[in-house]
Structure 1
Amino acid sequence: MTIQPPAPGEPRRPQGPRDPGDAWVVTPDGQRYWGRFGAAGLLAIDPARGVLLQHRVGWSHFGGTWALPGGALHEGEAPLVGAIRESQEEAGVPDGAVVPRFTHVYDAGVWQYTTVVADVADPFEPVISDPESLELAWVPVADVDALPLHPSFAAAWPSLRAQLDVRPIVLVDAANVVGSVPDGWWRDREGAAVRLRDRIAALAVEGVAADALQLPEVRWFPLFAMVVEGQARGVADADGVRVFSADGSGDDEIVRRAQAMVASGLRTTTVTSDRELRARLEEVGASVVGTRWLLDQLP
């Protein structure tokens, strides 16, 4: 592998000093990939308008094709962070406008491209904010294949499209998880539930490995919910975590919530080690994992 700076007429940032990541990675067989530290792009999904695509300017690599807002990662930059930064630089995506759902990685051995697939939480109009775009457009999913696509995006699109309807959620039996760890929860059940909620909130940011959810791709950022009961009732929601308080039986509330989630099309994973509750949850179509599964995921 060798590193080369941009050649004339090839991608470069026109303002300020060039970032050290802005260089070509060239493999021994002559394949060239943009981004010394890899690259990342954002596939934003708006249910009403489709996916956000960039029509690439003629002088860029594979100019004239359609692809994702994205580009070279900075040294030490996480792909999720880089994809959001690049989408802001190239398409004016506002802070907080999208919520990551999963990541897809193309691995060339010496170089990786990470696609961050994200749902639009706050609708916005893209703005061309650098010279690399001829056009930015929301394209209905059914119309994407009709466009002249960048070869790399064209290769990834079938896999990406296959997952666009998959929306995972993890529903946690908080009392069961809290009770599995002898940390003094019996003296302060509400405090123990809050600590669990906060750890789940941190996991919502980090995401879960795809194989842990028995899903394809690399990493998913599922919705998280937990059911609390008894002395823990009244624990508030946190960023990334919805908290449901059971007025009566916690098990009944969990089953009711899981059944509603499954019926709405969410791919529902419930967390409990209660055998009787597991059987009830499986009857309504939810998958069930034990408390150890969640504890192993928590940061």
Structure 2
Amino acid sequence: MSIEQPAPGEPRRPHGPRDPGDAWVVAETGERYWGRFGAAGLLAFDPARGILLQHRVTWSHHGDTWALPGGARHEHEPALAAALRESAEEAGVPATAIRPRLMSVLDLGIWSYATIVGDVTVPFEPVISDPESHELAWVAPDDVAGLPLHPGFAASWQRLRPLLDVRPVVVVDAANVIGSVPDGWWKDRAGAAARLLDAAAAASGRGLPASLLGLPEDLWYPELVVVLEGQARSAPDPAGPIRVVRADGPGDDTIAAVTEQLVADGRTVTVATSDRELAERSRGAGASVIGAGGFRDLLGY
């Protein structure tokens, strides 16, 4: 959760130059919320060690409680960037060690707080790098509720705890998505596939609406698996974190096999295709389906 300036009468915290976002937002009812442009925090999840929590200093709002590293957003700063920046400043979290999974936003109209749930991909040791923490600790998910939690984090934890087991993935029928618009793709199938891969890589950083995946909360950052077939197989790998599967045979069979394996692994799978037969096979395997045109629109491709 966010770390705030002390209220009147509380000990004054040490601080450097203040950002314009470092200010209170006061509701008509008198409640105060830290962050003129809202706030964001990081729920870093390491399956081997648990959730990274911050034991807040006494002088902070709801001091001596446990919450997430986080704080006020800068003006025009995306919530994801703010959560990574604040967690780096407060707990030494390397941005390169976190893969975002979902964003949950509490929007009160006058103020908002975005929680980024991120998976730890590279183990690291947190470091208290400013005066805002008594301690930092990895806490097993089942033990979190037993701690004295910041009220805001306690409320969000009830919603987010069940989602730690949800790992979405979108399997993309590249041939169908590319072929959904007659833009001359047949003249250069590899080039069209490369453009799709680049668009998918860009979208993976922006996230996809929860409604697309049939999931709760606001925004998810699913793994994207793009299946290429035929001449499109020669497209180069994208720069972003996209898994490319190059089918040796019919693309539909490869997509069906990939989908079945992912569902068997406990993943929440969505297949992007408008092929009716493949859509039926995908649903039969336990996946949901989004049409090629709708998925293309999401990518801006």
Q: What TM-score do you get using the length of structure 2 for normalisation?
A: 0.94
Secondary structure at the counterpart of residue 247 of structure 1: coil
5+ residue gaps, structure 2, are none
* Partner residue, 2:274: 273
Secondary structure at the counterpart of residue 43 of structure 1: strand
- 1:73–1:79 CA contact under 8 A, matched in 2: yes
Cα distance, 1:97–1:287 mapped onto 2, change above 3 Å: same
What letter is aligned with 2:157? Answer: W
* Partner residue, 1:65: 65
The equivalences for 1:177-256 within 5 A come to 177-238=177-238, 239-256=240-257
- 1:10–1:61 CA contact under 8 A, matched in 2: no
- 2:13–2:59 CA contact under 8 A, matched in 1: no
What letter is aligned with 1:274? Answer: D
Provide, for residues 219-264 of structure 1, a one-character-per-residue CA deviation record: whole Å limited to 9, x for no partner: 0000001111111124343322111011111111010000001000
What letter is aligned with 2:87? Answer: S
Offset, 1:95 = 2.9
Offset, 1:94 = 1.1
Provide, for residues 197-240 of structure 1, a one-character-per-residue CA deviation record: whole Å limited to 9, x for no partner: 11011110100111122111010000001111111124343322
Secondary structure at the counterpart of residue 29 of structure 1: coil
Secondary structure at the counterpart of residue 123 of structure 2: coil
Cα distance, 1:161–1:11 mapped onto 2, change above 3 Å: farther
Offset, 1:11 = 7.5
Task: Measure, in 1, the Cα distance between the counterparts of 2:12 and 2:55.
Answer: 14
Task: Measure, in 2, the Cα distance between the counterparts of 1:53 and 1:245.
Answer: 41
* Partner residue, 1:175: 175
5+ residue gaps, structure 1, are none
Task: Measure, in 2, the Cα distance between the counterparts of 1:130 and 1:44.
Answer: 19
* Partner residue, 1:130: 130
* Partner residue, 1:285: 286
Percent identity for Structure 1 against Structure 2:
60
Q: What TM-score do you get using the length of structure 1 for normalisation?
A: 0.95
Say how many residue pairs are matched. Answer: 295
Mean Cα displacement is larger for which, 100-109 or 188-197?
A: 100-109
Secondary structure at the counterpart of residue 164 of structure 2: coil
Offset, 1:13 = 5.9
Cα distance, 1:7–1:285 mapped onto 2, change above 3 Å: closer
- 1:11–1:60 CA contact under 8 A, matched in 2: no
Task: Measure, in 2, the Cα distance between the counterparts of 1:184 and 1:7.
Answer: 63
Task: Measure, in 1, the Cα distance between the counterparts of 2:11 and 2:38.
Answer: 17
Task: Measure, in 1, the Cα distance between the counterparts of 2:62 and 2:262.
Answer: 43
- 1:56–1:133 CA contact under 8 A, matched in 2: yes
Cα distance, 1:24–1:10 mapped onto 2, change above 3 Å: farther
- 1:44–1:51 CA contact under 8 A, matched in 2: yes
* Partner residue, 1:31: 31
The equivalences for 1:5-84 within 5 A come to 7=7, 9=10, 14-15=15-16, 17-84=17-84
Task: Measure, in 2, the Cα distance between the counterparts of 1:236 and 1:47.
Answer: 33
Offset, 1:109 = 2.0
Mean Cα displacement is larger for which, 206-215 or 150-159?
A: 206-215
Task: Measure, in 1, the Cα distance between the counterparts of 2:290 and 2:219.
Answer: 18
Mean Cα displacement is larger for which, 242-251 or 230-239?
A: 230-239
Task: Measure, in 1, the Cα distance between the counterparts of 2:299 and 2:231.
Answer: 24
- 1:228–1:245 CA contact under 8 A, matched in 2: yes
CA RMSD of aligned residues (A): 1.5
Task: Measure, in 2, the Cα distance between the counterparts of 1:192 and 1:122.
Answer: 34
Task: Measure, in 1, the Cα distance between the counterparts of 2:232 and 2:45.
Answer: 36
The equivalences for 1:254-265 within 5 A come to 254-265=255-266
The equivalences for 1:86-105 within 5 A come to 86-105=86-105
Task: Measure, in 2, the Cα distance between the counterparts of 1:21 and 1:6.
Answer: 15
* Divergent runs of 4+, >2 A: 4-13, 234-238
Provide, for residues 144-164 of structure 1, a one-character-per-residue CA deviation record: whole Å limited to 9, x for no partner: 011000010011111011211
- 2:190–2:235 CA contact under 8 A, matched in 1: yes
Secondary structure at the counterpart of residue 135 of structure 1: strand
